[in-house]
């Protein structure tokens, strides 16, 4: 049985040479071998058969191209349409596979890379930014009035005034319809006590405004710029002027120390620290829960404690009894038994406040003695004596 090797385009060759990969990607690469059943067999003359190539030598004509090694070259794979009963067999020649390039994954590349903190240029940038940050931090340090605590402050009074306008509009839109008029007895009572404390404060020139909100909520708060809001629900807890002086002294102390502006400055520092620490640790570790419980809440409690101290000194200088502050927090503790734990709150616990006030009482009483409170007491007693009714005989 004789086989004739032909290309699909009809060209007949006994051997061919693969020159490139792209040359045989079309149908021209298919070799058809026709079995000599329906065609006239091709035979060579006897005198040429001695010089013809054997089938073994003929098969060697399908060798690899010089561009690829012999192991890279794909062998001919027979595609048999039918079994031995098939009249024709078609042989195809697979194109050679492209050379395998060295596999280099992204993971290996990042693992083999030098960490950024081991590069000199990184520490050069750290030194430059660290020096600039240190100079900026030290140049914005100031002392808190009365307590003389050092703190970072980079919020100007103009920025604080802008924040006041926005916050004041929001509060008035929420509680404006429940604010008592100035002629109301509760408004007069709050204003009377507040004016005495403001006179002894270091920022008497500020445009103070006091609003009383008709609500059962036992609370009071202050906005930047001297905007103080007092809920009527806390007035029965204070019981007297001294108790109200402890509440108002605390709120006025927040404005004296500019705690709102200090908190904003602290958040700015925290933001820069978070950005720089992202080069060393995973930023997802610094999540919101960690920032709230671990950093922001302790900082808020620290400012509340400082406001208690400043407020206690102010009410003592205003000739109010500072010992009433401890009794006030005792009453608040009885009313709010179900308050959250201290570490989950922005305010210290009532027990902690009582303990701190007991530590500050000696200094508060000393400030009260140094003030002109005794003169005011004598004047008050003299005025009461003059109001004593006199009996007239008819």
pLDDT band at 287 (very low <50, low <70, confident <90, very high): low
225 pLDDT above the threshold of 90: no
Site of tokens 């406001």? 307
- pLDDT at residue 295, as a whole number: 84
- Asked if pLDDT for residue 226 goes beyond 50, the answer is yes
- In this structure, of 40-54, 133-147, 302-316, 344-358, the range with the lowest mean pLDDT score is 40-54
| Residue 251 annotated in active site | yes
Chain centroid offset of residue 7 CA = 70
Residues 6+ apart with CB under 8 A from 63: 17, 70, 73
- For residues 142 and 151, is the Cβ–Cβ distance under 8 A? yes
Which of the two residues, 146 and 389, has the higher pLDDT score? 146
Give the lowest-confidence range in 124-138, 160-174, 274-288.
274-288
Which residue among 142, 160, 195, 251 is the active-site one? 251
Of 201, 192, 174, 288, the closest CA to residue 245 belongs to 192
Predicted confidence band at 213 (pLDDT cuts at 50, 70, 90)? very high
Q: Residue 392: its pLDDT value, please?
A: 41
**pLDDT tens track for 42-92:** 555 555 555 555 544 444 445 555 544 444 444 444 444 444 444 555 555
- For the stretch 11-39, pLDDT in tens is 554 444 444 444 444 444 444 444 444 44
- Cα–Cα distance, 86 to 78 (Å, whole number): 13
The end-to-end CA distance of the chain, in Å, is 165
Of 41 and 177, more confident: 177
Q: In the structure, what pLDDT confidence band is assigned to residue 95 with cuts at 50, 70 and 90?
A: low
| Mean pLDDT across the chain | 75
Residue 390 has pLDDT above 90, yes or no: no
pTM: 0.65
């Amino acid at each position: 049985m004789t086989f004739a090797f032909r290309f699909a385009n009809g060209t007949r060759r006994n051997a061919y040479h693969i020159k490139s990969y792209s040359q045989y990607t079309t149908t021209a690469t298919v070799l058809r071998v026709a079995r000599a059943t329906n065609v006239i067999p091709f035979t060579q003359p006897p005198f040429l058969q001695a010089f013809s190539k054997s089938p073994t030598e003929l098969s060697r004509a399908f060798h690899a191209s010089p561009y690829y090694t012999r192991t890279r070259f794909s062998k001919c794979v027979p595609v048999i349409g039918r079994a031995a009963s098939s009249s024709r067999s078609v042989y195809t020649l697979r194109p050679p596979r492209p050379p395998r390039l060295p596999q280099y994954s992204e993971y290996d590349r990042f693992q083999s890379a030098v960490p950024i903190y081991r590069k000199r240029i990184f520490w050069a940038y750290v030194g430059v930014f660290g020096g600039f940050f240190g100079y900026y931090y030290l140049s914005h340090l100031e002392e808190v009035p009365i307590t003389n605590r050092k703190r970072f402050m980079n919020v100007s009074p103009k920025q604080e005034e802008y924040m006041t306008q926005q916050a004041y509009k929001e509060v008035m839109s929420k509680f404006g319809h429940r604010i008592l008029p100035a002629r109301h007895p509760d408004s007069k009572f709050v204003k009377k006590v507040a004016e005495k404390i403001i006179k002894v404060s270091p920022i008497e020139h500020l445009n103070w405004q006091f609003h009383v909100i008709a609500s059962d909520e036992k609370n009071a708060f202050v906005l930047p710029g001297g905007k103080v809001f007092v809920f009527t629900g806390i007035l029965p807890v204070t019981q007297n002027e001294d108790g109200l002086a402890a509440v108002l002294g605390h709120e006025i102390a927040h404005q004296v120390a500019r705690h709102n502006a200090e908190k904003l400055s602290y958040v700015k520092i925290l933001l820069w620290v978070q950005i720089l620490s992202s080069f060393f640790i995973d930023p997802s570790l610094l999540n919101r829960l960690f920032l709230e419980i671990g950093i922001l809440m302790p900082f808020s409690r620290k400012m509340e404690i400082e406001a208690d101290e400043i407020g206690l000194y102010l009410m003592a200088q205003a000739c109010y009894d500072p010992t009433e502050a401890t009794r006030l927090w005792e009453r608040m503790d009885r009313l709010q038994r179900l308050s959250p734990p201290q570490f989950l709150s922005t305010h210290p616990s009532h027990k902690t406040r009582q303990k701190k006030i007991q530590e500050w009482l000696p200094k508060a009483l000393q400030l009260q003695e140094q003030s002109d409170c005794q003169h005011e007491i004598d004047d008050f007693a003299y005025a009461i004596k003059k109001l004593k009714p006199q009996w007239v005989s008819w």
